[in-house]
Amino acid sequence: MNRDTTATPVVTRVAPSPTGPFHVGTARTALFNYLYAKRVRGRFLVRIEDTDKARSTKEFEEDILDGMRLLGLVCDDMVRQSERVEQHAERLRELVAQDKAYVSREPSKSDPSVEVEVVRLRNPGTTITFHDEVRGDITFDTGELGDFVIARSLRDPLYHFAVVVDDADMGVTHVIRGEDHISNTPRQILIQQALGLPRPVYAHLPLILAQDRSKLSKRKGATAVADYIAKGYLPSALVNFLALLGWNSGSDKEVFTLDELVTAFSLDGVQKGGAVFDVVKLQWLNKQHRLMLPFEEQRNLMLSHVHGVEGVYDALSNSEAAMHDILERYATGEELRTAVDSGEFSFYERRPEVTREMLVWKKDPTPERAGERLAHIVELLQTIDGDFTTDTVREALNEYAESEGKGNVLWPMRMALSGKDRSPDPFVLAEALGTIETKARLKAAIVACS
């Protein structure tokens, strides 16, 4: 059952550790918490769990917060776990004083010759059942957990204890997190019971899987959010994609803005099975979100990835037709840059070298006329009065191409301008190269045919 209406105002939270970059798994968890809270006019909180002093850094914290802002996940409040040491210590002392926990002196796990003090919870060994909003009732026998450790000392709580205290003090009503935390829940419920704290509503999200359906890892594509943005993915597309990783709106609609997701989101739509991280789907969504932008903004996004590649940059800057061709071909700026670096658009950077064999259309019954046709193309281009554009070039050549056979005319033209059998159509190439360079390349091809 999805509890979208409650007597107590809903408070959700995301609790990332600043021990690494803001990755897609954490981003998906943050997004679902944000959507649920905003859907029911609740509060969305961020708690930076920075108690791992050896691995936590300010740089990673800033990356997390910057990533959330970039995705539009604005929180209502933020706290750092390291700033709550006194609250944790007070609750630990309370449990020890009530004999619900005790200090135990025992050999160190890392060095058995050294004795250390830890704090253990007195475990009543009961059976615990909690309701998961995604998975239904889940039951654990806590007897096998024994008196588990909840702190290294009275001032150094472990994860489970700090989480319980912080969630209660922050008024968290709904804990929405990955399914890998299910096994943590019985320990945390035992701590809640010992402290006399209310139990939040739990919802455990499905794992994000790689294409081979193994758990997504850094090695298998769990790239940081900042890396996806650097590749040219739009924040809005990334948000849309992450929302569909384990959630379905119940309709055929797949393209959502953040505001539309807030309106549509429900825990009822969260699936139990793992969600495959499909890069092809992300690329498709990026195209859809890019199409929502003005053309100039789309152009600037792509141009930012080919700075320094003079010929390509100039062609795409000066020709709308060439840029439209690029926008149709590529989902991201990184894809474009990879294609440019591989030489796919070398014809924008330098004049190709062509041979007679290259210029003849394979279905041309009169291959000896290739040079003659190229010469007539040059003559027809001379008749263009005004701007030299895709449309005016097409208009000048269309009747001739129809009469002679499009392949017989347009193939040698394409090859003369690009030197490649796969390239934008010759009308687009002509606009991008400009009238002077287009005619120069055609004349050089005529010589190659002689």
Strands 156-157 and 174-178 come out as: unpaired
* Domain-located, residue 229: yes
Calculate the alpha carbon distances from 442 to 335, 365, 366, 376, 436 in Å.
Answer: 30, 21, 19, 10, 10
Per-residue H/E/C for 265-302 = CCHHHECCCCEECCHHHHHHHHHHHHHCCCHHHHHHHH
CATH number of the domain at 391, please: 1.10.10.350
Residues 319 and 390: their CA atoms lie apart, in Å, by 9
Q: Residue 173: count other Cβ atoms within 10 Å of its Cβ.
A: 20
Cα 201 to chain centroid, rounded: 28
Last residue of a domain, one of 275, 292, 309: 292
* CB atoms closer than 10 angstroms to residue 378: 16
pLDDT the model gives residue 218:
60
- Whole-Å CA distances, 377 to 119, 138, 228, 365: 87, 75, 45, 19
Region at 386 (left for phi over 0; alpha for psi -120 to 50; beta for the rest): left
Residue 168 located in a structural domain? yes
Q: Which residue has the tokens 């008024």?
A: 171
Asked if residue 65 and residue 204 are part of one domain, the reply reads: yes
Q: Are strands 77-80 and 101-107 parallel, antiparallel or unpaired?
A: unpaired
- Residue 137 CB-density burial (10 A; 0-12 exposed, 13-18 middle, 19+ buried): exposed
Q: Which of 215, 218, 272, 363 is catalytic?
A: 218
Q: Would residue 123 count as lying in a domain? A: no
- Residues 254, 175 share a domain: yes
Question: Same domain, yes or no, for 186 and 278?
Answer: yes
Query: CA nearest 433: which of 288, 72, 365, 425?
Result: 425
Specify which residues 270 forms β-bridges with.
247
Say whether both 277 and 170 belong to one domain.
yes
**What pLDDT does residue 393 have?**
98
| Tokens 């009543």 found at | 124
Residue 111 domain-assigned (yes or no):
no
Write the single-letter amino acid at 326: I
- The Cα-based distances of 55 to 18, 59, 237 in angstroms read 8, 11, 31
Residues 355 and 236 in one domain: no
Burial class from Cβ neighbours inside 10 Å (0-12, 13-18, 19+) for residue 82 reads middle
pTM reported for the whole predicted model: 0.91
In the residue annotation, 58 being an active-site residue is answered as: no
Q: Which of 336, 346, 343, 341 is nearest to 311 (CA)?
A: 346
Domain presence at residue 276: yes
The pLDDT of residue 6: 45
What are the CA-CA distances from residue 147 to residues 19, 115, 143, 173, 189 (Å)?
29, 18, 9, 27, 14
| Same domain? 172 vs 285 | yes
Domain boundary among 292, 309, 341: 292
**Does 357 lie in the same domain as 276?**
no
Same domain for 204 and 272, yes or no, is yes
Which residue, 241, 229, 226, 230, is CA-closest to 278?
241
Question: Residue 203 domain-assigned?
Answer: yes
What is the mean pLDDT, run by run of 10 residues, along the chain of 450 residues? 58 96 96 98 97 90 97 97 95 98 94 94 97 98 96 94 97 97 97 98 95 75 86 97 96 97 97 94 97 96 94 95 96 96 96 95 90 97 95 97 95 96 95 97 95
Find the domain containing 189 and state its range: 1-77+162-292
**Mode of pairing for the β-strands spanning 174-178 and 127-132:** unpaired
Q: Considering its fold, how many domains does the chain have in total?
A: 2
DSSP letter for 23, please: B
Instruction: Round to whole Å and give the CA distance between 55 and 17.
Output: 9
CA angle centred on 40, ends 38 and 42, rounded to 5°: 65
Residue 213's nearest CA partner among 205, 225, 204, 221 is 221
**What's the DSSP call for residue 224?**
B
Contact of 303 with 326, CB cutoff 8 Å:
no
Could you tell me if 288 and 416 lie in one domain? Answer: no
List the helix and strand counts (H, then E) for the chain. Answer: 18, 13
Q: What is the CATH number of the domain that holds 43?
A: 3.40.50.620
181 with 285, same domain? yes
* Residue carrying structure tokens 């996004």: 301
Residue 394 maps to a domain: yes
pLDDT for res 1: 35
In a domain, 151, yes or no: no
Question: Around Cβ 253, how many Cβ atoms within 10 Å?
Answer: 10
The values of phi and psi at residue 286, to 5°, are -65, -40
Q: Give me the pLDDT at residue 367, please.
A: 87
Same domain? 281 vs 372:
no
376 and 282 in a common domain: no
Last residue of a domain, one of 257, 274, 292: 292
**3-class secondary structure, 153:** strand
Q: Check if the beta carbon of residue 336 is closer than 8 Å to that of residue 326.
A: yes
Q: Are 266 and 28 in contact (CB under 8 A)?
A: no
CA distance 196 to 194: 6
